[in-house]
Amino acid sequence: MTLCRPTLLLAVCTLAWGAQAQSADKPVYRCPGSPVLYTDAITAQEAKEKGCRMLEGSPITVIQGPKPRAAAPAPGPRPTEGKVDPSDQRSRDSEARRILDAELRKDEAQLAAMQQEYNNGQPERQGDERNYQKYLDRVADMKAAIARKESDVAALRRELAKLPQ
């Protein structure tokens, strides 16, 4: 039995040496990019052109991660081929136009009231504004509120312009 052990050990060593010699014949390159690529399937010239570096030392083990799952479909009815009936679309568009028109009229009325109260930067002083700075702060707030409301009105007009007639 003692003769078998050295023979077995010699055979294992020979196989390991042969595998190492074989891997030494094919260098492994680390190539830049996203994701980083490790390969032994390119020549030295190709590696130089791609900017790859040859790795020396330990062999590389690559473990493939799990594949991402496909997203679950959204619940609810699905339109056939993504198309909507033209009459349904017209009714949706007219409803959207009606809502936007109502919002625009409301905001325009609020803007007109704000501008009237602002009185071109000279609103009437209120009883609790004995301090002039308090009055100036209120005027600045009114001016900012008017600017925001004008922006809202302009946005509603842009949205209405996008809708079909």
Residues 95 and 42 in one domain: no
Residues 91 and 158 in one domain: yes
Residues 54 and 102 in one domain: no
Q: Is 28 helix (H, G, I), strand (E, B) or coil?
A: strand
- Asked if residue 21 belongs to a domain, the reply is no
Residues 157 and 112 in one domain: yes
Residues 103 and 154 in one domain: yes
Residue 101: pLDDT band (50, 70, 90) is very high
Instruction: Please provide residue 49's backbone torsions phi and psi, each rounded to the nearest 5 degrees.
Output: -65, -35
Pairwise pLDDT comparison (142 vs 31), residue with the higher score: 142
Question: Residue 39: beta bridge partners?
Answer: 29
Residue 140 has a pLDDT of: 95
Residue 58: pLDDT band (50, 70, 90) is low
Residues 38 and 102 in one domain: no
Name the average pLDDT for the chain: 80
Residue 91 has a pLDDT of: 92
Residue 19: pLDDT band (50, 70, 90) is very low
Number of domains within the chain: 2
Pairwise pLDDT comparison (58 vs 136), residue with the higher score: 136
- Asked if residue 102 belongs to a domain, the reply is yes
Query: Is the CB of residue 154 less than 8 Å from the CB of residue 100?
Result: no
User: Which of 9-13, 20-24, 64-68, 130-134 is least confident?
Assistant: 9-13
**Residues spanned by the domain of 48:** 26-59
H or E element at residue 37? strand 37-39
